[in-house]
Copies of this chain bind each other. A is one copy, B any other.
């Protein structure tokens, strides 16, 4: 269904959302850059008071879940590391269950998520190569070593395949282009972890003890947040903050169950 302003298929500000549990995106929903979205803290407090369960699902691959919890704490959000699901957490859980070892192409802080899950991180003899947002750690040497491992049989696990993000200095290459480089060089396809992968939503829901039908996802990305959630049977709530762009909604062919000015309005729709 296409978006159609004013159509009853896409509730604007007035609908209510039938959900008992929420998965909430971080960047762009609770904060933008290093500034909290006005009313976001109060919205989370209201959810808690009224007994709604919650988990946080972010595609960030530049920080460990503990690093993210610390960052959120500094912004005034009381969120524990265990409530946060990132692609690194999901990948570490998957590798742990398979008893597999990995080679990391990522920033130094990400290793913590793998260590905590008891996943072996090694420089040789691995089952897979995990690629996150390594920024300046995307060196030719590191990529070459990853490439050789893939040619010897290691699988490629992409924590994300974003093209770029808006950094302080301008548009900045994300992990996606480097995953594409390894895919091109090796002729193999990467396994994608993180939103909109169904496994990623399932992992957070399992931890929450909720079925997709009783849960709603709140995010600023029409495709990976709202589309990904609806694809697994959850409800999808789009917020007009962060990377939200009006012109991206209609072409996506995705109808959010609710569109909010920001997460601050959530309490009015419960």
Binding site for B on A (CB under 8 A): 134-141, 143-144, 147-148, 151, 163-164, 170-174, 176-178, 180-187
Report chain B residues within 8 Å CB of A182: 177
Report chain B residues within 8 Å CB of A143: 138, 173, 177
Report chain B residues within 8 Å CB of A139: 136, 139-140
* Contact among B173, B176, B187 with A163 in the assembled complex (CB-CB below 8 Å): B187
* Contact among B135, B148, B171 with A140 in the assembled complex (CB-CB below 8 Å): B135
Report chain B residues within 8 Å CB of A151: 171
18 A-B pairs within 8 Å (CB atoms) are namely A134-B140, A136-B141, A137-B140, A138-B140, A139-B140, A140-B173, A143-B177, A147-B171, A148-B170, A151-B171, A163-B185, A163-B186, A164-B185, A176-B184, A177-B185, A178-B181, A180-B181, A181-B181
Interface centre among A141, A147, A176, A177 (most CB of B within 10 A): A177
CA distance A253 to B265 in the complex (A): 63
CB distance from A155 to the nearest CB of B (A): 17
Beyond A135-B140, A147-B164, A164-B147, whether A176 also contacts B171 by CB under 8 A is no
CA distance A135 to B163 in the complex (A): 22
CA distance A144 to B144 in the complex (A): 18
CA distance A180 to B89 in the complex (A): 28
CA distance A105 to B167 in the complex (A): 22
CB distance from A13 to the nearest CB of B (A): 34
